[in-house]
Structures are given as C-alpha cells and as structure tokens.
Chain A
C-alpha cells in the first residue's frame, strides 16, 4: 500500500497535464459549435473488424469505438459531434496499449479527410505550440517504396503490409521531429473509409504519427451501404479464418446507412497517447493510475 501511495503521488504532474489536455479539447470543440455526445459503451454489436477484438459481457460487448452510434446521429442530421470516452479492445496491452483507453472521436458533415486534417492541426496547435510547425505528409505508397521496397497499393499483401509497417515504416517515421501524416492507404486496408474517387486502389484514410507514435486515424467516411456491408462480411470471413469470434451485424447502423449518411469526415484520436507523448513519456504507465 505504501508503494501504491508513492506511485500515485509521483504521477500527479502527468495527471494534471492530461487533465489540461482534456480541458483544451472541450474548449476547442465548444468554440467551433461541436456538440459533445455520449453514446452507449455497452453495445449489442461492435463493428466487425478483422483485427479488433471486443470484450464480451454477459449480454453484449463493450464498445471498441463509438463510431457506429455517432454515424447514426450524423444520418439523423447532426453535423458536428464529438465524444470523449472509454473504448475497450481485448488483448491489447503494452507500452502503447491498454485494454481500456480514452478515445476522442469527432465527425463533421460536409467535409472529407482533408477537412478533418485541418481540424486536427487546429486542435493540436491549440493544445500545444509544439505542433505549430509544418507537418510532413507522405502517402503509404511513397513510404513503402522508400522504407520497405515494395508497393502495397499495387499488390496488397496483408501480412507483409502489417509487418513492414511495424518493422520499417513506423521506425522511419520516428526519425522526424514534426508530426507526420501517413495517407492514402491501400483499399484493402481502408477499414471504414471511402475509396478515393478517381483512384479506387486507395482509401481516403490518413494516420497521424508523432515521435513514432500512432496518435489518430481519420477517414472520408464510407457512406455506401453496399460497400460497407461487403467489408463487414469480408471481415467476418477473415475473423472466422483466424479462429476469432464473429460479431452480430449492427442492423440499426446499416439501416441508417441505407437511409443516407451525408458526406462527412471523421477521426479517432488516442487521448492517453497524445497526453503521454506531449509529456515526453514513452509508456502509458506514466499517466494511467491503474494499469
């Protein structure tokens, strides 16, 4: 008990810093007329994604992201919404991972992933002037050509992509002191992003890296219900192949998509990782009081 007391007390500066980041986030969105919303943490149907596992409960699952509910609100006419809250991902534990973490997600109707990039830059600059520099931008195609020696956009190989991203590309991005936007992922790695009109080999998805740490994932949101259905089905098959549980399909979300989701951009940002990296720490243990 003595060492827990010391441990928690030593964490105070980091926790104060993290609290300020949260205050800054709320202030930023209030100034821009975004509505803070709270959608269910306990859900019947988590999004079906190949490599994201949900924590099951006796009657459902803990959410891995608030995305599906927030998109239902967008479909109902809400144009600027954000949410701060816990997300849960089974089996993810490490310096940069904790099975329960704080996610910031925001969506803006009438824009795309480039508009969201502007929001992101403005938000981060408002939190700390260290972000007020030119951000580096590199496409997945360029990054893999330079640091991995092949083109996943032309010929996708999931295992090779995941391995090279972690072994070669991410370490290369860590050498830059400024934030880096890794953009235009291969269509097969598009997740819930729409394909680029004019070049359907890529999805309109970018990720923000800073000091080598993955901080955020943004999309021009997929609004095509048929394509979304196909992707969920494919993920279900992949999960079965990998021996992972398959989740029920969120029919309410699919109904909203079929009724019509306006063109919009959205983003998921890891608040704990952002605060950690701003605090110059390299492990979430620096600011999660109970690991």
Chain B
C-alpha cells in the first residue's frame, strides 16, 4: 500500500480494483489543518479521469502491474496476437485495448504491453511508424508553410490528414501517439 505522502505525478495506484495513473498532483495544507493531497487520476483501462483528494492518513492501493516486451504477430478477427519475447507465449489483445493503435501495427513490431492482474490493459508502440500513402488527391506544389491539409489513406484504410504536396506512393511518418502525420520520409 502507498501512503498519501508517496503520491506524485506519474504514480500508478489502484482505486476500486482498477489501475490509475496520477496525472495532476497538488499538496495543500491550511496552517492549522491537516495535509491534503489533491489529485487528478486517470483510469488506465478506460481513460476516464476524476479528481480525488487524499488525507495524510489514507492508504492507497498499489496495482499489480507488469510491463512485458512483446512482438506483434497477426490479427485474428477483432483480436490482435502478440508474442512474449521471452516465453514465446502468444497473447491475443482485443481491438478495444488497442484503439486506433491497431492501424499502426506492423509485422514483428516490438511493443511494450502493460498487464494489470495478468490482463493486458495498455499497449505502447514505437512513437513513429512509416507507411505508404495508397490513396489521396494528386499533390499540389505550393507553400509548405500553410496548414491546409487533405485526407489520405494508408494500406489498412486508416485515414490521416496530410499536407497538399503529398502524393500517392509517398512514404510518410505517422506519430502513433496522436495518429497524425509527422513528416514525409520519401517520395513515391
């Protein structure tokens, strides 16, 4: 168990059986009153976040969390199969846990999977991937400094917004954390 004085931004705790991460933290204490620890905590499984104030006598649960290195293998319906790098054990992870990240999976990609009570709850991909643009309007030469964009699709149908100068066949870098275009790697 953690004590309230252990609280800090980034700490992973357990509330109502779910794993949470402290996203905001503030120590408050009126001169003669008790110390209070005001936090904003985010449910790692659902992304839902709420505010909670702890008293210095409060004890806070430590979640049973484990991070494992895995390799992406293949899709199976609405699950995606990963293989543990050490044990070669296969783990299917549901599309719900991956969210849009499922569009950024590439064969043999190395990822980090966070397990809570032995169930996968969060997958961390490499920050950037390179993908070919398979469908977009022809590129327009022009001012690369403008923010005007157009839609473009990558092989799995995922759509991103790209600058006007991007052509079909171009390889682009996508930021897996935001799902957005980062820059162009090479022309098609």
Kindly state whether residue B158 has any CB partner on chain A within 8 Å.
Answer: no
Kindly state whether residue B32 has any CB partner on chain A within 8 Å.
Answer: yes
Q: In the complex the two chains form, is B36's CB within 8 Å of A162's CB?
A: yes
> How would you classify the secondary structure of chain A's contact residues: helix, strand, loop or mixed?
mixed
Number of chain B residues close to chain A: CB under 8 A: 16
Kindly state whether residue A2 has any CB partner on chain B within 8 Å.
Answer: no
The A-contacting residues of B in range 20-34, CB under 8 angstroms, are 26-34
Task: Kindly specify which of A26-34, A67-75, A88-96, A123-131 makes contact with the partner chain.
Answer: A88-96
Kindly state whether residue A229 has any CB partner on chain B within 8 Å.
Answer: no
Kindly state whether residue A83 has any CB partner on chain B within 8 Å.
Answer: no
Q: Which residue on chain A has the smallest CB distance to residue B5?
A: A91
Kindly state whether residue A220 has any CB partner on chain B within 8 Å.
Answer: no
Q: Which residue on chain A has the smallest CB distance to residue B25?
A: A94
Q: State the Cβ distance, A207 to closest chain B Cβ, in Å.
A: 7
Q: In the complex the two chains form, is A165's CB within 8 Å of B32's CB?
A: no
Q: Which 8 A-B pairs have the closest CB atoms?
A: A94-B27, A162-B33, A51-B34, A162-B34, A191-B32, A166-B28, A217-B31, A166-B36
A16 to B108, CA, bound (A): 60
Find A165's partner among B5, B27, B30, B57 (CB 8 Å cutoff): B30
Q: Contact residues of B with A, CB < 8 Å?
A: 5, 26-36, 38, 53, 55, 57
Q: In the complex the two chains form, is B30's CB within 8 Å of A159's CB?
A: no
Find B32's partner among A49, A163, A242, A243 (CB 8 Å cutoff): A49
Kindly state whether residue A97 has any CB partner on chain B within 8 Å.
Answer: yes
Residues of A within 8 A of B55 (CB): 159, 162-163
The B-contacting residues of A in range 148-183, CB under 8 angstroms, are 158-159, 161-163, 165-167, 170
Residues of A within 8 A of B32 (CB): 49, 51-52, 189, 191, 217
Q: In the complex the two chains form, is B36's CB within 8 Å of A94's CB?
A: no
Q: State the Cβ distance, A85 to closest chain B Cβ, in Å.
A: 17
B5, B31, B53, B55 interface centre (most CB from chain A within 10 Å): B31
Find A51's partner among B27, B33, B38 (CB 8 Å cutoff): B33
Q: In the complex the two chains form, is A51's CB within 8 Å of B53's CB?
A: no
Residues of A within 8 A of B34 (CB): 50-51, 158-159, 162
Kindly state whether residue A214 has any CB partner on chain B within 8 Å.
Answer: yes
Q: In the complex the two chains form, is B26's CB within 8 Å of A94's CB?
A: yes
Q: In the complex the two chains form, is A97's CB within 8 Å of B29's CB?
A: yes
Find A95's partner among B26, B53, B57 (CB 8 Å cutoff): B26
Q: State the Cβ distance, A234 to closest chain B Cβ, in Å.
A: 13
Q: State the Cβ distance, A242 to closest chain B Cβ, in Å.
A: 6
